[in-house]
Structure 1
Amino acid sequence: MALTGLILVLALWLSAAQAQASPVRTQVLAQGLEHPWALAFIGPEQVLVSERAGRLRVVGFDGRISAPLQGLPDIDEGGQGGLLDVISDSAFASNRTIYFCYSEPAPAGGGNSTALASARLSADLRRLEQVRVLFRQSPKVGSRHHFGCRIVEAPDGHLFLTLGDRFSRMDDAQTLDNHHGKVVRVAKDGSVPRDNPLLGRAGALPEIWSWGHRNPQGAAWGPDGQLWIHDHGPRGGDELNRVLPGRNYGWPVITHGVNYIGTRIGAGITEHPGMEQPLVHWTPSIAPSGMAFLRSNRYGPQWQGNLFVGALRGQHLLRLQLEGTRVLAQQRLLEDLGQRIRDVREGPDGLLYVLTDERDGQLIRLLPP
């Protein structure tokens, strides 16, 4: 009887360990994408996928990948820049509108910055029409780094865009006369909403929603009705933040990271009056990219409402169990893929989809166990 009991305990332990290691199955829907950056659903089994090199493609769940769509504006591809985020409008089924952000070259050369544009996807899925630039980060600088560039459409129809500090201009993140290291909010026609927090403030650009960010490459609308983002730290100190209007998130005055050579940044402090603390931070850095809240119960009730974050350096998908704004637990998924996870989205079917940032990048669907 004792031996039988021991065998049962060991069997239960092994089953639990296997469930923890492989809680989902993966299905590769398409491959051969060159450093894909973002995906946007345009149908139940079709997505737009941006490739950092400056290409936008239609990808079917049957593995078919279209030729690059025509009609994109000039893109300054190189380093971390290129064609980056893309989302479909909440009314895409009727208006066929998409929004995308990219590194835009200066007209006479000598610099670039993040830009946000809208366009209409043609009925034959071959080109973009009525392309319109809605917002340009100012000023343009000569840098290949820290473009930010995640887009979120809020329930009221306004657009949020995350903007990096451009690396060499990190101190700009604390001044309000530029768009470096900021989150901005604009209407779908590019105008400034009347309730933006800095509208009318002397010396402040009116599009600014929040500041003190470094290089936020993940953003999602939270179940609490607020914008959530994550931010790349330097060496350590990646952050998850709930972004409120008119708040300062501290970079580079406060940070939980250090310079890449190991020296402290500024005064080396992690707190300062008037500056927000992250909900959680990661050291060593996981290099977060892409983020989605799971609203469906396709994976069971224990995953519903969880937050999922792609990790580039960490080469995993991170699941965060939340209680309000408290992070109760974290679990690493897809580590066995050994690939950089660039983006994660919930599909119309309630399942999660990820992109791997590789020369032979993949579109992967996560299936319930």
Structure 2
Amino acid sequence: MLYLDSCATTPVHPDVAAVIHEVMGTFYGNPSSIHRLGLEAEQLVTKARRVLADALGVRPGEIVFTSGGTESNNLAIKGAVNANRARGRHLITSAVEHASVYEAFRQLEDEGFHVTYLPVDETGAVRVEDVEKALTDETILVSLMHVNNEVGRIQPIEEVGRLLGARPKVLFHVDAIQSIGKLPVRLSEWGIDLLSGSAHKLEGPKGAGLLYVREGVRLTPLFSGGGQEHGYRSGTENVPLIVGMAKAIRMAMDAQPDNRRKLEQLRAGLVSRLSEMPDVQVSGSGRPEEMAPHLVHFTCPGMKSEVIVHALEQAGIFISTRSACASGESSPSRVLLAMGMDKERAASGLRVSYTASRTAGELARFADELAAVLAKLSPMRPAGAGRSVLQPEGGSAS
């Protein structure tokens, strides 16, 4: 089996699984209880919070534990908007955000807020000048992802943060779920007020996430209850998964420099192989430094992406068509349409994502199997569907 869908989720690292198992079996007290078992559990949560704060370069009191990336994004966006609605009712996001962000803003529109959905260029990038033009005196929140989960385009977070630095009324939320542990994330330097993270993208457990809330930022909680997590996230803390998340993220951050170099080499090799295939067009920027190193997205116009996925599965290779949260949809990708692709191409997208544990040989095996699948499917395409030649790495793939 060759698993190449790491942007959807990753297997839990054995060391992380071991510590989760230990905590489940030994430290089962409720962190809110005042007896010894409760205090032991509370100490583990406190230690995990400190480990994560050190890894992100923030204060422990600025870390809020959640059930995952979706909750972190919703708490950041809805919590910030509801706490600051008296200051304005205009919000800014992009047209290519993850569903947990995009749909949260759609819901806020139904509640009477005005939302600007920023366009992106053909590589999938937001333009900083478009952010600046969209800002008004009513703007209270800008929310952008650091790495696009579908095509891997890195957004200009540092530049947007610098722009918003002169506007203290406007909060800046960053969805960093696909970048923590893979790329540098400098929260204070980039002027980030709120940042979402998730464990299971980094060989950690599903059901564990975090939200960085800069000191001084106010949020309205989504849940009512006992006031855990500084009052932002009531409910008994999931101690085993919190500890497992802390270990997974710390391990990923420690290995990040070496892993990034390896991932960049893997990506360059795969893009080179895909460039030789006449039915393939690579998505995103041709500049490697503008793309996340752990994924490659490409399209095969005139072919059905689901057919290719299942054909590769027969060979023991697992990839995806788009974000796991939308992979069951048959409509063209919202993200690819926003990048200017026509419906045919936007319906043929495929995503390959991997960890640093993969090898060049394994990605070569994938490329060989893909070429064989495309050769079989190519004559079966609808009449009139043109063959698409990939531009060189430095050119446009649109």
Sort the TM-score into its range (normalised by shorter chain): under 0.3
Which structure has the higher relative contact order (CA within 8 Å, separation 6+)? 2
Q: Which has the higher helix share?
A: 2
TM-score, normalised to structure 2's length?
Answer: 0.24
TM-score, normalised to structure 1's length?
Answer: 0.25
